[in-house]
Structure 1
Amino acid sequence: MTDSLQARWAHLLSILAADPAVTARQRGFVNLAQPQGLMGSSRLIIEVPNKLTRAVFEEQISASFRAALHEAFGPSTTALFDVNESMVPVESARQDVFQGEREVPVEHQPTPSVATASAHPEAPAGSRAFEYYTEPHPGPDHYEVPADEQVTRPSLQALEAERAGFPSAQQSAPVAPAAGVPAPREYPAPLPTFVPDAPTVPESQQVHPHEDPENAPTWDSSARLNPNYTFDTFVIGQSNRFAHASAFAVAEQPGIVYNPLFIYGGSGLGKTHLLHAIGHYTKYLYPNLRVRYVNSEEFTNDFINSIRDDEGSSFKQIYRNVDVLLIDDIQFLAGKEATMEEFFHTFNALYNHQKQIVITSDLPPKQLTGFAERMRSRFGSGLNVDVQPPELETRIAILRKKAQNEILPVRDDVMEYIASHVTANIRELEGALIRASAAASMKKPPEPITLAEAETYLKDLLSDTGGAEITSALVLATVAKYFDVSIEDMQSKSRTRTLTNARQVAMYLLRELTEMSLPRIGNDLGGRDHTTVMHAVRKVSAQMAERQTIFNQVTELTNLIRQEQRAAG
């Protein structure tokens, strides 16, 4: 850059800096640009690092920029923008962009609109964040507890009573994490045939959930994200379009729009999927941000363990230093006074530092019982979106997506048959698809089942019996009788082959035929961890496609359970 060009560019910047029509945020984007030279005498070539910066010049401040350009370079000068994504912007300019977003007082910020949420809902997963939004910065490494925060420690006895309120509370005493740090959740590996359509991420920025936490970056390992739940694997329909768009916007611009984001709806409709997808995409776009997914039971256990081990400060350091907190099934905190008090302060600490909070629940904030009004008020202060049961077209799309990702041999007419008979729950929908795929694998030679065969294989699974609700007690009693074992045996720690098989089949059927959560299923089978249940469900799903005996066992047990259901109704 010549001295003359540099001087005139500096003059242009000074004009824009003095222009009241150009905001601090827009000035930050202006500072990202660098003039490269004049083509002829009237065309200025300007290099910018991304499309968003170019859009700021060409759309947001076009009149101010044109006037400044003409004053600094001459009335006939035009600008030609060269987008160079490998360009390294000046760090101070990036900070200007970020600070420009943050310096607007809360009371003067515009109310978020649906248009903002859906501005780029279909943006390619491989796109970089700065093509659309500004890049948030991670918070400080150390959180100071406010002096006015209540420091009275609840009794351990009272806290253990709160822990006992969760479905999986009867499991053996938790092992204290090292140095008061909650251990990251481990997810079983996906089935071998599953190939997620995930974005291509440079190796240096990839998150590896299964790596040894001691050797992995601290905040990658603590994100606790399920590798299968991404935006790429989420099927969008009318029932969840707004929730998806809102979640996508939050992932692109965490802490700035829709904070907190509260997603509510029935069991098995994709709320947890959206939480994990937000975490994955945020980590992809902003590798340095600290993302943490946790359900309400894990939050409670982490809090109680920290008090028990005299590591309360470590708990605060972990949960109040995150940049994005994703908390699932908040309704299970109802009535747990000490844990809710801690979450209240955690919420305030994150919100006051403009850190993103995303919460899921089975009910909207106003309908939550067992929560103080101040909690419901905070939950409702951001954007509340619901997820409804999917309509027929979306159900078919969900089945096709799963069949494609997991290479399941199921015909289109069979998928349409399943979608037309399972209307309320995605979990049941996918369970029927797996059953059809397993039936195809059992044929000699293996080939997709016909519609007539599907009606036979899936008759009891899909029929609308109108009978009594299928309960855990019904499933466990039926499985125990079938395998000639007792329910107490299945709940025991014994790992004989017969008991292990019976226990895993019971877990699979409870997941497929009821709306029980993973922790509740684990609790009913001897207080086992929810990851054990997840592993069992996946194992039985895979074995059904490989072993005729397992397929027959699951089919026969489903028929028996349905018969008992009809008899009870």
Structure 2
Amino acid sequence: MTSSDSNQASQKTWKSVVKELINGSEQSDDLHIEPIGPQQRAYLNLARLIGLLDGVAVLAVPSAKAKEYLEGNLYGVICMALSNKFGREYSLAVTVNPTIGKRRDEPEESEDAEQQMLDIATPTSGGRGSRGATTKTAARKTPRNSRRGKTAAKPAPTPAAAAPQATTPSVSEPPPAQPPSGKSVPRKSAAAAPDASPQLELDDRDMLTITATGWTTSHTDQADNPVTPQPATTARATLRSREKPAHNPAQDDSLNPRYTFDTYVVSDSNKLPTSAAIAVAEKPARAYNPLFVWGDSGLGKTHLMHAIGNYAQQLDPNLRIKYVSSEQFTNDYINSVRDDRQESFKRRYRNLDILMVDDIQFLQGKEGTQEEFFHTFNALQQGGKQIVLSSDRPPKQLTTLEDRLRTRFQSGLIADIYPPDLETRIAILMKKAEAEQIVASRDVLELIASQFSSSIRELEGAFIRVSAWASLNNQQINLKTAEQALEDLMPEHSVLEVTTDTIMAMTAEFFGFTIAQLSGTSKSRPITHARQIAMYLCRELTELSLPKVGERFGRDHTTVMHSERKIRKELAEKRDTYDEIQKITTMIKNYGRG
């Protein structure tokens, strides 16, 4: 088979996968299959299938923006569609090739041609009528050959010796791989032989682009570092290291596998909610329904909810479980109304076996979302399905929610979590040290536990700070290093309560920006870094939740979560970041002292 024939077979297969993906999202009742809207379709149609390599599907797209969108928004559904089609697990690698889809004699397209295509495909907020008009406009602007299912242009053939061989999807499907961890993967055909598929030649540019490169330079570096070309064998090894199991429709990606009952420290302060959570996981909808867990921020409510989902999934892998924050539920509902997909939204949430909603108090003031959640709650409860809710206050104090919601929350078990005592806090730190493989003596753990008592999040943050300080200074963790690392965080040194306004003001002053720039839309590296540090400090020095911090910066909770995780990682790797946080923290404390 020639390279041209291989490319044609690849694109025919990719179009088939895209078609099945779109049709399946529109017709499926599976709660884990998100609807494929016009914008998603446009990005899928921009992609070209290069080949299948050792359980990795290699796609090429014309721009970095398209690559980022596919990896960030469509990774799971593409892997699931490929896995279902070929009967084995597939992960995804996306490479940028600006020349795909162009003939050699074609003039270069304008830089915003891709954006124009996406603008055409993006639905307006005008409802059903305007949405239909948009779709028709997109259809009129689609090339004629594309409407017939033909490729408008073929990629140039590449030399056979330039790259390793990969399996081309064809009528004879590739043999299924052994699933990891003993999990079974559905197969559509068992008749495929290992050598039944023809070979496809990969272009060297595609293989080299696939190789992942980590960001090892400082955030202050403005110049782009050149990437040294690597042999194809390195790219193959990199692809294998990035492989992920195919998406299982019966499992929910929102569950954090690290949050289990085994990693949850039980004490008198949380014994009741923990016992109830275990009972709910073992007997959904037959023990306590709904289960309402409340307590102050940072006491382990989210951990407990993830543990319920992970344990229930372990006992019965076929259970349909979903964990969402109230903000995620609200955004899903708003998007379904905007895209005229309310029925799909209802199927996703009402066909569940267990629904867990975190921080339910943030539904306040959202009348439309409360109405939809009320009907979702009723549908699940009447269908014998489990509901788990969490809040920072008991149901009777949620006065901003409708009475009919509060009374339903009170119909099940209400369990509260108290701040942990000293011994429990020490046990939490010991488990944290064990999980992170950090050696710390008991007297160090006692020092930290005695100084941070109101929040487990604050407690673990202090421990990570001590660990990072010792690592960056090449010292062992002892009482002296712990006291030095926590000097500015000790509660008794705080003269007045630290607020987000103070943190933003001091961070902006340190980096030479304004508060408006920190909360603005600029994505330049220096401003983004300063904003991430400010978000991290808001989580460390205040008791505000993720949505509240995000609201102050004009961002959603996922942005705050990403920023906190990124800065926490940099603390252990970059001395510059550690010094910046130390200096800004000192500025905040000095500002508080007047």
Q: For the residues of structure 2 that align with 1:211 and 1:248, how far apart are their CA atoms?
A: 33
Counterpart of 2:368, as a letter, is A
- Structure 1 match to 2:359: 329
With structure 2 as the length reference, what TM-score do the two structures score?
Answer: 0.58
- Structure 1 match to 2:550: 522
**Structure 2: gaps (5+ residues):** 1-27, 31-72, 81-179, 186-241
Q: Is the 8 A contact 1:409 1:447 kept in 2?
A: no
Structure 1 residues 241, 201: CA separation in 2 closer, same or farther (over 3 Å shift)? farther
Q: Is the 8 A contact 1:259 1:356 kept in 2?
A: yes
C-alpha displacement at 1:211, in angstroms?
Answer: 8.5
Equivalenced residue count is 367
Counterpart of 2:452, as a letter, is V
- Structure 2 match to 1:281: 311
Q: Deviations over 1:265-297 (max 9, x none)?
A: 000000011111111111111111100111111
C-alpha displacement at 1:537, in angstroms?
Answer: 1.6
- Structure 1 match to 2:527: 499
Q: For the residues of structure 2 that align with 1:521 and 1:449, how far apart are their CA atoms?
A: 31
Q: Is the 8 A contact 1:410 1:436 kept in 2?
A: no
Q: Deviations over 1:435-475 (max 9, x none)?
A: 100111022xx232321332232122023246332111110
SS of the residue 2:365 aligns to: coil
- Structure 1 match to 2:572: 545
Q: Is the 8 A contact 1:233 1:401 kept in 2?
A: yes
Relative contact order, CA 8 A, sep 6+: which one is greater?
1
1:411 to 413, 423, 441: 441
Superposition pairs of residues 186-205 of structure 1, within 5 angstroms: 202-204=182-184
Counterpart of 1:317, as a letter, is R
Q: Is the 8 A contact 1:237 1:390 kept in 2?
A: yes
Q: Does structure 1 residue 217 correspond to structure 2 residue 251?
A: no
Which deviates the most, 289-298 or 501-510?
501-510
1:556 to 569, 583, 587: 583
Q: Does structure 1 residue 478 correspond to structure 2 residue 506?
A: yes
C-alpha displacement at 1:513, in angstroms?
Answer: 0.5
Q: Does structure 1 residue 535 correspond to structure 2 residue 515?
A: no
Q: For the residues of structure 1 that align with 2:355 and 2:478, how far apart are their CA atoms?
A: 46
Q: CA RMSD in A?
A: 2.6
Q: Deviations over 1:88-118 (max 9, x none)?
A: xxxxxxxxxxxxxxxxxxxxxxxxxxxxxxx
- Structure 2 match to 1:398: 428
C-alpha displacement at 1:201, in angstroms?
Answer: 5.8
SS of the residue 1:464 aligns to: helix
SS of the residue 1:516 aligns to: coil
1:352 to 365, 368, 382: 382
Structure 1 residues 382, 223: CA separation in 2 closer, same or farther (over 3 Å shift)? farther
Q: For the residues of structure 1 that align with 2:307 and 2:543, how far apart are their CA atoms?
A: 22
- Structure 1 match to 2:419: 389
1:258 to 288, 308, 323: 288
C-alpha displacement at 1:373, in angstroms?
Answer: 2.4
Q: For the residues of structure 1 that align with 2:440 and 2:183, how far apart are their CA atoms?
A: 35
Which deviates the most, 324-333 or 511-520?
511-520
Q: For the residues of structure 2 that align with 1:229 and 1:211, how far apart are their CA atoms?
A: 23
- Structure 1 match to 2:263: 233
2:592 to 549, 552, 565: 565
Superposition pairs of residues 108-507 of structure 1, within 5 angstroms: 202-204=182-184, 216-220=247-251, 222-443=252-473, 446-465=474-493, 467-507=495-535
Q: Is the 8 A contact 2:29 2:344 kept in 1?
A: no
**Structure 1: gaps (5+ residues):** 1-140, 144-176, 185-199
Q: Deviations over 1:315-367 (max 9, x none)?
A: 11111100000011111112322211211111111111110000001111112
Counterpart of 1:505, as a letter, is I
C-alpha displacement at 1:235, in angstroms?
Answer: 1.3
User: Structure 1 vs Structure 2: percent identity of aligned residues?
Assistant: 51
C-alpha displacement at 1:202, in angstroms?
Answer: 3.3
Counterpart of 1:249, as a letter, is A
Counterpart of 1:528, as a letter, is R
SS of the residue 1:519 aligns to: helix
Q: For the residues of structure 1 that align with 2:505 and 2:407, how far apart are their CA atoms?
A: 44
Structure 1 residues 292, 506: CA separation in 2 closer, same or farther (over 3 Å shift)? same
Which deviates the most, 307-316 or 369-378?
369-378
Q: Is the 8 A contact 1:331 1:368 kept in 2?
A: yes
Q: Is the 8 A contact 2:494 2:589 kept in 1?
A: no
- Structure 2 match to 1:54: none
Q: For the residues of structure 1 that align with 2:378 and 2:423, how far apart are their CA atoms?
A: 41
Q: Is the 8 A contact 1:465 1:566 kept in 2?
A: no
Counterpart of 1:539, as a letter, is K
Counterpart of 2:525, as a letter, is R
Q: Is the 8 A contact 2:466 2:481 kept in 1?
A: no
Structure 1 residues 529, 216: CA separation in 2 closer, same or farther (over 3 Å shift)? same
Q: For the residues of structure 2 that align with 1:262 and 1:232, how far apart are their CA atoms?
A: 21
Superposition pairs of residues 24-43 of structure 1, within 5 angstroms: none
Structure 1 residues 551, 410: CA separation in 2 closer, same or farther (over 3 Å shift)? farther
Q: For the residues of structure 1 that align with 2:526 and 2:367, how far apart are their CA atoms?
A: 43
Q: For the residues of structure 2 that align with 1:217 and 1:454, how far apart are their CA atoms?
A: 44
With structure 1 as the length reference, what TM-score do the two structures score?
Answer: 0.61
Q: Is the 8 A contact 2:448 2:459 kept in 1?
A: yes
Q: For the residues of structure 2 that align with 1:463 and 1:382, how far apart are their CA atoms?
A: 38
Q: Is the 8 A contact 1:409 1:440 kept in 2?
A: no
SS of the residue 1:254 aligns to: coil
C-alpha displacement at 1:212, in angstroms?
Answer: 8.2
